[in-house]
Amino acid sequence: NGRNPIAVIVPCHRVIGSNGTLTGYAGGLERKAWLLKHEGITLL
């Protein structure tokens, strides 16, 4: 919902759907995927 003004410090981008999909990131799913990959997370 875009309420986290410091998303990189408070990592709401790490929240994923219960089925493992990327969902609900105000910065867009492409940015969310980039952040996770940048942190070393492998996406399926």
Residues with active-site annotation: 12
The answer to whether 32 and 13 are in contact (CB under 8 A) is yes
Q: Which two tokens stand for residue 5?
A: 């003004």
**How long, in residues, is the chain?**
44
Q: Copy the structure tokens of residue 44.
A: 């399926």
